[in-house]
Structure formats: C-alpha cells, structure tokens
Amino acid sequence: MTRASVFFLCSVLLGAEKARLLTPEMRAVSNHVTASALRGHVAFLSSDLLEGRDTPSRGLEIAGEYLATQLRLMGLEPAGDDGYFQTVVVQPENLNSAKSRNVAGILRGSDPLLKDSYVILSGHYDHIGLAKQGADLIFNGANDDASGTASVLEAASALASLKIHPKRSIVFILFCCEEKGLRGSRYYALHPLVPLAKTSAQLNLEQMGRTDSTEGPHIKAANLTGFDFSDLPLAVVDAGRRVGIAVTKDPKGSDAYFNRSDNGPLARLGIPAHTMSVTYDFPDYHAVGDEWQKLDYDNMAQVDRAVAIAVLELASSLVAPRWNAAYPQAKQYVDAGKKLYAK
Ligand SMILES: [Zn+2]
C-alpha cells in the first residue's frame, strides 16, 4: 500500500468514526448553532444601551423584552404568569419589594407519557448595573452572563428546529436577580412553573464565552460544578466528546462553586442541577471591561453544540439523572432527591 493510499484509508476511517459520533438529531442541533448568532445576542444584551442590566432597571426590562421575543420567534410555549414572563418579587421579606421578571418558554415533548416531565436549561440575564465613578460607567456583563443567556437562546433555537421534539419537555429559563443573591432562581424554586417532582434535571450556564481564564487559556474545554454529585455531568461529558469539547472536573471549583449559581436552589430541593462554565476567574470579572468583543465566539459555539446535544440526550432518555449516593459531599442532595421524587 502506498503512503497516499494509507493516508486516504485513515481519513476515510476517521471520517466514519466522526460521523458515527452524531445521530441525525444530534447533527441537526449541532449544525443549527452558529458563532454569529451568539455574537449578535451577546453584543445586544451587553451593549451600553442596556446600562449593565441591574435588577430592577430599564436596561433589564429591555433585555427581558428581547428574550421573550426570541422565545416567541422559536414557537416555544409561554411558561410564565404573564406570557413568557414570571413576575418575581425581588425581596419577599419586604412588603414594598421591587418586582422583576424571569423569562421562560417550553418546548413540549413528543412522548405521550414523558412530555409531562421536564429538563431545564437556564442562565441569568441580569448583571450589576452602573459604576458610581470612572471613565466607563457601565458593567456590560458580556461573559457574566450575557454569554450563558445567549447560549440558552441558541440551544433553544436548535432544539426547537427539530422536526420531532425530544420525548421530555424542555423549559428554557433566563433568571433575573442572580447578582442580588440568586433571587430569581430562589423565587422559581418557591414558585415553580412546572412541577418540581416532574423536573428531572437542570443544566445552568455561566461564563461561556471567555477562554482567557486567569489560570491560562481554556479552549475546547468546559467545567461542571458538583461534577461527582450526580450522573448528569456524564451526559455533558459524552456530548462534549462527540464535538471535541473536553468536559472535566475543576478540582478547585467543582464542589466549592456548587451552591454559588442558579442551580443551587433546585439542587437543594433534590433536582440534579449543575452549572457549566468555560472559565471561572477571568480578567474583567465584575468589572466595566467585561465587554462583548473579548469573547471567543467560535469556541463558544462549539461548547454550545455540546450543550444542545446534552440537553437533547437528557430530554430523550427514558432514565432521569440520579444523585451519587457514593459521594459523601452529595448526601444532602441525595436525601432531598429521595424526598422529592417519592411523592
Ligand atoms: Zn453570573
């Protein structure tokens, strides 16, 4: 065999191997995700016009209208108490509390029995608003968390484009008030839009665009918090492998950050819920320099292909994710899960 024919045979085999990694549905959702769509969403959501999306603020209201419009264009079912909006009392302990809005839509499942069970894909669309002084007054919050918000939109658009929807229903939620102490997701946990005991999993997205971690470049890679807490991360690892994204445990962040994001409130009630990120610490974190031009949109698109495939798999599976009873740090969640799903 000549060198040329060996090379040809190898490339055919590699091509076949790659093709085998994606089912037709996975290929369809993967092909639907584009860097340019993500760039468009992030550039708008983190533009100066939206004034840093504080809760509550004019900028956050505009962002919410934009998100609801996107969900409507995808043909998702409105899931809130006011169309796509869930009215959130920001400080329930205060009688005169300000109100804000989570934004939520449902892609109804196709299986007669499983369509009444739900997988949640979420992110937070608020940020920290305006600086008191300085040359630049706007905390744009491009990576934190316009990137997660845009990733939810793009995965939703990809999954909604499937001719046959996955078996389970998927709820796409963009939370407000995260920067005020997870108040949007905490409100959701107390006032769920679909039954908690029928919610099998939550994947939450934070900081999906920057690859310049303070610990060095983080390309074609992502982390999940609570990596050993349940078997949900395995679905994301598998999806990542199919598109060349290494989804791994961050030894420092995995357990430490588990309760620091919008997966926490539902995890504490027993739903296997994790937050996925490309980087944790990055330059410009909660600084006015967190702007849309600094994100790596090609990398983000590839990570989001893994997200869309993972959600497709979670929503297609007959089996729901389970907490890991063999991991001592997960005990509180194992116990909460037993209580929640026993009902
Ligand atoms: Zn965030």
DSSP string, 174-211: EES-GGGTSHHHHHHHHS-SS-GGGEEEEEEE---S--
Q: What is the CATH number of the domain that holds 41?
A: 3.40.630.10
pLDDT at 313: 98
CA of 45 to the centre of ligand 1 (A): 14
Is 157 within the bounds of a domain? yes
Q: Domain tally for the chain?
A: 1
pTM: 0.94
CA of 206 to the centre of ligand 1 (A): 6
pLDDT at 58: 97
CA of 156 to the centre of ligand 1 (A): 20
CA of 108 to the centre of ligand 1 (A): 28
Is 35 within the bounds of a domain? yes
CA of 171 to the centre of ligand 1 (A): 20
pLDDT at 90: 95
pLDDT at 20: 62
Is 6 within the bounds of a domain? no
Is 3 within the bounds of a domain? no
Is 16 within the bounds of a domain? no
Cα separation, 324 vs 247, whole angstroms: 18
**SS3 call for 223:** strand
What values do phi and psi take at 48, rounded to 5? -60, -30
Query: 202 with 274: CB under 8 angstroms?
Result: yes
Contacting residues for 6 by C-beta, under 8 A, at least 6 apart: none
Is 307 within the bounds of a domain? yes
Q: Which residues of the chain have pLDDT under 50?
A: none
* Residues near ligand 1 ion, CB 5 Å cutoff: 144-145, 206
E strands, the chain, are: 77-78, 85-89, 99-107, 118-124, 169-175, 199-205, 212-213, 216-217, 221-224, 246-248, 273-277
CA of 238 to the centre of ligand 1 (A): 25
CA of 95 to the centre of ligand 1 (A): 27
Is 18 within the bounds of a domain? no
Give me the domain span that covers residue 119.
31-342
pLDDT at 10: 57
Is 54 within the bounds of a domain? yes
pLDDT at 331: 97
pLDDT at 87: 98
